[in-house]
Amino acid sequence: MRVYVINGPNLNFLGIREKDVYGENSYEALCNYIEKEAKKLNIEVECFQSNIEGEIINCVQDAYQNADAIIINPGAYTHYSYAIMDAIKSVNLKTIEVHLSNIYKREEFRHKSVTATVCVGQISGFGFLGYKLALEAVAMIN
């Protein structure tokens, strides 16, 4: 099984930005964690990060022919990117949305996810563990 793990804006600044919200670990540490956990489940992962909406859409579309499922943290695009939502919907792959922080304990605008409406489920508030939970869920539903 092959899973694309797609991360959106500012995830590349993990360990730098808002450490009280996102923690001290870097994006590289997150990718290493995801790869380690995926290996335990015999899942091949492709980690991708971009601050650019179109590149995220291109990656989702690339998953159509190259992956069995998607795990996505769209970052701030979660709340307003109908383009990413449409891309996820169009590829028709099992997709799980992940957020490091609990978006429902934060600012009001973060409580709405347009992208989650086309995902199998959403995991938020568990930090890096959310990605492990998403990998386990993908393994069970595919």
- Active site residues per annotation: 22, 99
CA distance 124 to 126: 6
Which residue has 């386990």 as its token pair? Answer: 136
What angle (nearest 5°) sits at the alpha carbon of residue 72, between those of residues 52 and 116?
105
HSE-up (13 A, CA, CB side) for residue 68: 14
